[in-house]
Structure 1
Amino acid sequence: MAPSTPHISGQLRQLIYYHLDNNLINNALFLAGRLHAYEPRSSESSYLLALCHLLSGQPKAAWEYSRNAGSRGTHLGCSYVLAQACLDLGKYMDGITALERSRSLWASKSHWNKHSETRRQHYPDAAAVICLQGKLWQANKDLRKAVECYVESLKLNPFMWDAFTALCEAGVNIKVSNLYKLTPELVAMVQAAPLPDSTALSDKTVPHNGPLQTQLNTNPNADPFFSNSSKGDSSLSHGSSALWEKLNGSTVSVASVGPAVIHEGMETPVAQNDPDDVRLMNGAVSSNDPWEPRLAPARRNRPLQHSEYGDPPPKMRTTALKSRIRSRAEPEDSNPVHIEEEPVPVPSIGERKRTVSGQVAHQPVPQPLEPGAPQRRSTRLLNHIRPTTSKLAASTLREGREVKKVRATGTKGRTATASSMGRAVSGNRKHIPSGPDGDGKESRPAGSSNISNMGKSAAPDRTKEIEALSWILDLFAKLATGCFNLARYKCPEAIQTLNLLPQGQRETPWVLSQIGRAYYEQALYTDAEKYFIRVKTLAPFRLEDMEIYSTVLWHLKHDVELSYLAHELMEADRLSPEAWCAAGNSFSHQRDHEQALKCFKRATQLNPRFAYAFALQGHEYVANEEYDKALDAFRSGINADNRHYNSWYGLGQVYEKMGKLEYAEQHYRNAVQINPSNAVLICCIGLVIEKMSNPKTALFHYSRATSLAPQSVLARFRKARVLMKLEEFKLALAELKVLKDIAPDEANVHYLLGKLYKVLQDKANAIKHFTAALNLDPKAAQYIKDAMEALDDDEDDADMA
């Protein structure tokens, strides 16, 4: 008889998820093809096939297979994969439309705190879908809607990091302290989540409803991992070997494939088609719940006379719920019969004997067995299958002694072969289980103690979870504050925040790279190099932010290190734009502008939205005095990222060289609006205004630049020069003295000091600084000599006067 369709498709889906979880994408893709061929009209099979193609880096194939159901919005998985493929293929509005049409499938879903080692949610929730919508709107140049989506996504899940970084890059003002804090909503979600996974309680687990679970089976027979043999014994020996080992203390080589978790003192859990998790985990145990598996058929009287373990006994459970383990077979033995020397057909482990009236036979003190007394079959079976857990062993041992003692006193008990609902015993239809102390009180199952302990420990576990969540939120708050400050170019604040991280978190490639970028933005290239060296030590094959590191080396004129970095990045990934940017910077440092331009163009081909590569390309065109091409390159950078201040600065630089000072000032101001703490950009504005014959306004900008960067040589030099134009000689002299201490080997500083001392009629100091400038820059000897000769001419004129 051929298997039914749900069985085949369910097994194929489980295999696909198995290979996806183990990152075996090619295997998953092959199996998804088999499933799609078996169910070509199924949206689920189309989704899995499209997902495998997307993970394989084939967005066009993913778009093709998910288009049918995804574009209509009838299947959430197909719509989500279709939107991701559209983001890669540039079909942004198609992706947005698909997600909007499937809104009813994801609008009310939240999977936060529902993922673990043994549980997965394979379809996205509202936070993930809205974040993807934001990326599509941003790519479609609708920044307002993109920001709205990112904000909504973060409200649903504050750990949606890419949504946060996208908001930072968009220049949105964010109150990080309000975002990453322990809110009542988060606490409620932690408290409402299921108890911690059994992996935290026991290492002997078989995940219930785990990552390979299809959630589509309606009975145990439909589950490929549920063994339900027609023979009553085989299901125990093969389908539940973990339980077999638990009861027998044996080590069966067959791996357990049961769908549930076996805990100490717990009965076999529910079947995997139960909509909830294992109810024992939640403490929902009721004596009237018919949740145990079907009992195996009872066997006739047959002595155990085989190998060490003999034939597997009837399907056994632990003694936790003794009232439920009576055999339901043998209808001919329904009448109560007192026990003589013959063993009962189907003994029940740990069951107490009853009198004719149906009451429990009491015995205050258990007596040891007589050495010569024949051993009854139930006792042999009890000794043969001995539980491994200490509580269970002690319980069954005590009960075994009581059973033997009842027989030794001569009291003729009755066999209670009733089912878990209770059978008639001498007219008594109420099943009264007894405890091991023989007091006639109701006995709690052995597993119930674990359940109660679990319930008692639930509160401390929740407290620990909330404490852990608070710690993670604090960590994210520091990381987010540093990231936000760096995005707003508040570099000192970013460095200070990131340095407050714990050492283990601070000494990571991402954090060190952010600190290095912060120093780079302040033009502190030596400090930036130190952090990037540590990044390369920790992560030799890291590519992110390496284009910044190559520019740092370019500014420091470290030719050998720059060439070696480019070689390393090419070896790591030849198709990464960062590697080609490093190679381009290396050629640029060697004045090979043509090769540098080829490298930067290759970087933009690999990533058309890599604004930094366009900016580097534009600067190379400026060096070649190809201003029209430079303008095109910088405009392409702004088109890729309108907040890329380097491209705005490049446009201002080109217009300044072309003599269009008004345009240059406007573009410089646009750059300063994005990065208000960059002293170089403010100096550029001052220089353009100075060229427009407005020295007082230029002085204001130069003073602002020196306040932002006190160690900036360029800002102080231009400030001193404009002070000399304004005839503020004492203030200019003070600036130049500070500048001489900052850059003692700068020829222009000594030359300007010589001219200032010449104006102040201090010939000795003037000659001293002119001579120093001549020694530092022999190429400018003609200008310096002319200034010295002019000094002598002025002295001669003074003597004649």
Structure 2
Amino acid sequence: MPQDAPPAVLTPQLCQRYSSLVWYFLDADLHKSALFYAERYFVLDQKNHDARHLYATALLQAGQPHSAHKLVNIPLDNRCTGCVDIIAKCCMKLGRHRQARGALDVCLQDPDYTPTQSMSARIARASPDDAIRHCQAGNTALKGNLHESAARSYIRALELNPMLWEAFEGLCAIGDIPPVETLFPVRPMPVLQKSSEIGPSKLSIPVATGAGFFTPDAGNGGNLFRGWKPELRKDVLTGPRDSIATTDSSFYGEPSFQGPVRASRSQPTTLAVQPPAVRPLSSADEAGPVTKKLRSTVRQRTAPPSTKAGDIQHQLKPSKSTGAIPETVPDDRTKSSKTTTASRSNTIGAGRPAAGGSSTRRSTRLQSGGSKLAKTVRDRRRVAAKTRSQSHDSGIEEEPGGSDQPVVAPPALFAQHTHSESSPPTSAAWTAEQEHATQEAYENDLADYHIYEVMRKFASASRAMALYDCRLCLDELETLPAQHKRSASVMAMLGKAHYELGQYPEAERAFEAARNLEPHRLWDMEVYSTLLWHLQRNVRLSFLAQELLSTDPKSPQAWIAVGNCFSLQKEKTQALTCFRRAAQLDPTCAYAYTLSGHESIDEDLSKAISFFQSALRADARHYNAWYGLGTCYMRMSRLRLADYHFKKASQIHPQNAVLLGCVGVVRERCGEYDKALELFNRAIEFSPENALVRYHRAKILIAMKKYTAAVQDLETLRDTSPDESNVLFQLAKAYRLLGDDVKFTQLLAEVRDVAPKSVAKIRKLVDTVKDADVGEEVMDEG
């Protein structure tokens, strides 16, 4: 037995994700998808008013005002102004205008009311994205019976946005469903990174905003990093860069994560956090590795001291981009490189004056060197040129712009700058901010992962139900978290699975649970009414029909329930009228045509065939219509057509024991006993309690002279149906062929008591010789 999935904790990130999803689909008029995620959100915490309001809004826009009104019409102690506002909308939809006016007056008396997060002001999308358009194209193609085109559109929509639940439901309706692992691959669970695991190079790249795989982003087509490029800041670094998420925060609610800007496009980020390297070949290298400077700037930093200003001006030419050479304060050459670094950290770019008057000036320092250093100017310049040629060893590359490119000091130098508004936080502050951003990104990714996994589990169950693999569907539903198991949609799916398996008591309990959770539910109630018809629940079926009519008298489900109620009372004319009314209200309701055909099959076969064909035009995968056509052709003794339609029905529902039995009956009529027996064996494997299939297998076994096996099946049927005359007659025949005259006589007496009109067939059976072929002597012929 599968274990329940652990319950999810309703975090703010999870609420935000569900809210974004629901509004995303509501704006696109994809109400099925919006309802699916709104219900998933609501069942996690039914006391959460934000989830309640969102679910009620989705129900209201999906045309279910009664269910929406019931959801927000809670006791006054727990009711908020947001609930009253939705009550007013539901009353206006239902035509209860006086109640709507009273609810609006209550809202106006609360001027301090603040809407919940999902109901607050937001910016709706002006036009749907490509995924929405593909899904809408699939919906229209499906209604036009263009199944191949619809399947392509749905698959493309899921490729663009895997959270489009309506696209997956469309694939289920077509029946051509790829495996869930193909449509929704397994994703690893997010892992929270610790600060020790984040290297220095990871601190400068943009942090994921947690927008996830489904939250749309205006302008980027859902890809948060599509429009992001590392750019060079031409001004002074003023701190972290702006958020890379969409600016529409009121709609998507994405947090803004900040990350530091790289010092230069050509300088790796790791150089900004490493200590400066010591290179004594040039005075310009004493401050550590820096970004590549202009040629004129490098010469200023590598020129030796001189006693003549004219020599200095002759040797050092001004830069085109920085203007004249600034004057510098004299400084002793014997000072340490640390002092030189500190003095240069106050200079942002070449050509800009120092921030404070206490900093040393380079021109004075060059003049204080004395005339004895003038001889070494050329040697120093050669060393500087050699230094520039070897600059690639420190990871510094030449900018393609030449002297037109601005000079930006590395972050290592900014870290030593005095505290000012333009200087970014220290490395410790960056680490704390990065940890906070990483934690938020992890929580957002965890919310995405939870929604995606829940959706995958529902997809597996829905796919199994669409393929009529009902046992697999039940197993998949057992793996859902406990909160989702108690939802109305899950209970309805559970009831349909048990109904298709022929487990009517279990199906009845599941549908009753769904009705208790959502008393005004209309979806799937046509199946529930047919279930009550099979169980002969006359009173309960009548009550259900009245409730559905009071909820929505224009719904096809209500009129199907009324028709089943009349059919159970043997009023076929009234039942047929109700089924036709359901078909008029919804021409795509295949079940209404099918029930009309079953009501007409005993009176007019041609009319019944017309109804069944209309059902197939509405839904080509409606196996009940294929079964009805096979039954009609079987009664017309057109075995080939009957075999074709029964096989089509069995291909759609391969685990239905009744359909396999019908194919076996056709094989039996054609004299192919071996194939018929194989089909009956398969049918009994799927449904051991099916009495009709077991009865047909017993007849085949008698025809194949396997009397002992036939007696076992007939005795089983005798225990479950002791008053069935056909079972007693076949059992008496089997004992007669086995030579047990005592049991043969006893059973004939029981047959005479149960069915007095069978005296003629009993006399014929008694007069039959033991060795004669009596395999075709049956009481239910025709």
With the length of structure 1 as denominator, give the TM-score of the two structures. Answer: 0.53
- Per the TM alignment, residue 144 of structure 1 is displaced from its structure 2 partner at its CA by 1.3
SS at match of 1:154: helix
1:645: which partner in 2?
623
> Does residue 1:568 correspond to 2:547, yes or no?
yes
Question: Closer, same or farther in 2 for the Cα pair 1:773/1:511, shift >3 Å?
Answer: farther
Structure 1's 548 and 454: CA in aligned 2 closer, same or farther, altered over 3 A? farther
Higher relative contact order (CA 8 A, sep 6+): 2
Aligned to 1:664: 642
How far apart are residue 738 of structure 1 and its match?
Answer: 3.0
Is residue 758–residue 791 contact of structure 1 (8 Å, CA) maintained in 2? no
Alignment CA distance shift 1:564-1:447 (3 Å): farther
Give the corresponding residue for 1:154: 158
Q: Read off the aligned partner of 1:169 and give its amino acid letter.
A: A
Q: What letter corresponds to residue 513 of structure 1 in structure 2? A: A
Matched, 1:501 2:449: no
Match of 1:283 in 2: 258
Q: Which amino acid is the alignment partner of residue 546 of structure 2? A: H
Q: Say if 2:512 is the partner of 1:512.
A: no
* Secondary structure of the corresponding residue to residue 601 of structure 2: helix
What is the CA–CA distance in structure 1 between the aligned matches of 2:724 and 2:465, rounded to whole Å? 31
Q: Tell me the CA shift for residue 281 of structure 1.
A: 3.8
Instruction: Return closer, same or farther for 1:451/1:602 CA change in 2, 3 Å cut-off.
Output: farther
Contact 2:526-2:560 within 8 A present in 1 as well: yes
Q: CA deviation at 1:170?
A: 1.1
Deviation at 1:715, TM superposition (A): 0.8
Q: Please report how far the alpha carbon of residue 474 of structure 1 lies from its aligned counterpart in structure 2 after TM superposition.
A: 2.0
Say whether residues 1:718 and 2:696 are aligned partners: yes
Letter of the structure 2 residue corresponding to residue 730 of structure 1: T
Give the C-alpha shift of residue 160 in structure 1. 0.8
Contact 1:585 1:596 (C-alpha < 8 Å) held by counterparts: yes
Distance in 1 (CA, whole Å) between partners of 2:733 and 2:666 is 23
**In structure 2, what is the Cα distance between the partners aligned to 1:596 and 1:115?**
45
Paired letter, 1:181: P
Match runs of 1:710-749 below 5 Å: 710-749=688-727
Q: What is the aligned counterpart of 2:179 among 148, 159, 175?
A: 175
Aligned pair partner of 2:130 in 101, 126, 130:
126
Please state whether the residue corresponding to 1:609 is helix, strand or coil: coil
1:609 maps to 588
Shift in alpha-carbon separation, 1:657–1:426, aligned structure 2, 3 A: closer
1:581 maps to: 560
Amino acid of the residue matched to residue 442 of structure 1? H
Q: State the shift of 1:482 in Å.
A: 0.9
Instruction: Find the partner of 1:489 among 468, 472, 478.
Output: 468
Asked if 2 retains the 8 angstrom alpha-carbon contact of 1:195 and 1:281, the reply is no
Matched to 1:519, the amino acid is H
Greater mean deviation of Cα atoms: 732-741 or 625-634: 732-741
Counterpart of 1:781 in structure 2 is 756
One-letter code of the match for 1:590?
Q
Partner of 2:511: 532
Does the 8 Å CA contact 2:457/2:480 hold for their aligned counterparts?
A: yes
Do the aligned partners of residues 488 and 792 (structure 1) sit closer, same or farther apart at CA in structure 2, a change above 3 Å counting?
Answer: closer
Alpha-carbon separation, structure 1, partners of 2:540 and 2:662:
30
Deviation at 1:702, TM superposition (A): 1.6
Which residue is 1:63 aligned to?
A: none
The separation in 2 between residues aligned to 1:446 and 1:585, in whole angstroms, is: 79
Contact kept, 8 Å, 2:184 with 2:456, in 1: the verdict is yes
Q: How far does residue 168 in structure 1 lie from its aligned partner after superposition? A: 1.5
Once residues 713 and 255 of structure 2 are traced to their aligned partners in structure 1, the CA distance between those partners, rounded to angstroms, is 78
Return the letter of the residue paired with 1:617: S
- Using the TM superposition, give the Cα deviation of residue 598 of structure 1 relative to its aligned residue in structure 2, in angstroms: 1.0
The answer as to 2:140 corresponding to 1:165 is no
Distance 1:120 1:651 in 2: 49
SS at match of 2:647: helix
Check 1:451–1:171 CA distance in 2 against 1; reply closer, same or farther (3 A cut). Answer: same
Instruction: Give 2:647's aligned amino acid.
Output: R
Deviation at 1:445, TM superposition (A): 10
C-alpha distance after superposition, 1:544-579 (max 9, x if no partner): 110000111111111111111111111111111111
Amino acid at match of 2:727: V
Q: Which residue of 2 aligns with 1:223?
A: none
Q: Does residue 137 of structure 1 match 2:141?
A: yes
Match of 1:691, as an amino acid?
Answer: R
Cα 1:126–1:192 shift into 2, 3 Å: farther
Match of 2:419 in 1: 442
Quickly say closer, same or farther: Cα 1:688–1:182, change in 2 above 3 A: closer
Q: Given residue 150 of structure 2, which amino acid in structure 1 is its aligned partner?
A: A
Deviation track 1:441-483 (CA, whole Å, cap 9, x = no partner) reads: 4167999899975543111222222222222222122111111
| Unaligned ranges ≥5, structure 1 | 1-16, 24-53, 58-113, 198-208, 210-265, 287-423, 430-438
Distance in structure 1 (CA, Å) of the matches to 2:140 and 2:582:
23
Change (3 A) 1:441 1:787: same
Structure 2 unmatched ranges of 5 or more = 1-22, 30-59, 64-117, 192-205, 213-217, 219-238, 262-353, 360-415, 772-782
CA distance in 1 between partners of 2:728 and 2:423 (Å): 91
Alignment pair present for 1:691 and 2:705: no
Cα offset for 1:616? 0.6
- Deviation for aligned residue 1:182: 4.8
Letter in 2 for 1:782: K
- Structure 1 residues 446, 548: CA separation in 2 closer, same or farther (over 3 Å shift)? farther
Which residue is 2:436 aligned to?
457
* Counterpart AA for 1:665: D
Say whether the 8 Å CA contact 1:281–1:451 is kept in structure 2: no
Query: 2 CA distance for matches of 1:632 and 1:140?
Result: 20
Q: Does the 8 A contact of 1:576 with 1:603 survive in 2? A: yes
Amino acid corresponding to residue 158 of structure 1 in structure 2: P
Against the structure 1 CA distance between its residues 753 and 684, is the aligned structure 2 distance closer, same or farther, given a 3 Å change threshold? same
**Map 1:414-433 → 2, pairs under 5 A:** none
Distance apart, 1:647 and its partner CA? 0.6
Distance in structure 2 (CA, Å) of the matches to 1:275 and 1:556: 55
Residues 193-218 of structure 1, C-alpha deviation per residue, up to 9 Å, x if partnerless? 64689xxxxxxxxxxx9xxxxxxxxx
How far off its partner does 1:613 sit? 0.9
Do the aligned residues in 1 keep the contact of 2:138 with 2:154 (CA within 8 Å)? Answer: yes
- Give the 3 Å change call, closer, same or farther, for CA 117–512 of structure 1 in structure 2: farther
1 CA distance for matches of 2:770 and 2:152?
75
In structure 2, the residue matched to 1:72 is none
Task: Answer yes or no: is 1:655 the counterpart of 2:636.
Answer: no
The 1:489/1:55 distance shift into structure 2, 3 A limit, reads: closer
Structure 1 residue aligned with 2:573: 594
Closer, same or farther in 2 for the Cα pair 1:499/1:445, shift >3 Å?
Answer: farther
- The answer to whether structure 1 residue 627 and structure 2 residue 605 are counterparts is yes
Deviation at 1:793, TM superposition (A): 6.2
What are the superposed Cα offsets for residues 360-418 of structure 1, whole Å, 9 maximum, x if unpaired? xxxxxxxxxxxxxxxxxxxxxxxxxxxxxxxxxxxxxxxxxxxxxxxxxxxxxxxxxxx
Distance 1:742 1:180, change over 3 A: farther
Partner of residue 750, structure 1: 728
Secondary structure at the counterpart of residue 654 of structure 1: helix
Task: After TM superposition, give the deviation of residue 121 of structure 1 in Å.
Answer: 3.1
- 1:618 aligns with one of 597, 618, 629: 597
Q: Distance in 1 between matches of 2:518 and 2:471?
A: 25
CA, structure 1 residues 794+676, in 2 after alignment: closer, same or farther (shift >3 Å)?
closer
Q: Taking structure 1 as reference, are residues 693 and 794 closer, same or farther at Cα in structure 2, changes over 3 Å only?
A: closer
2:659 counterpart (678, 681, 685)? 681
- 1:130 and 1:155 map into 2 onto residues whose CA distance is 10
Question: Residue in 1 aligned with 2:84?
Answer: none
After superposition, the Cα gap between the structure-2 partners of 1:443 and 1:723, relative to the gap in structure 1 and judged at 3 Å, is same
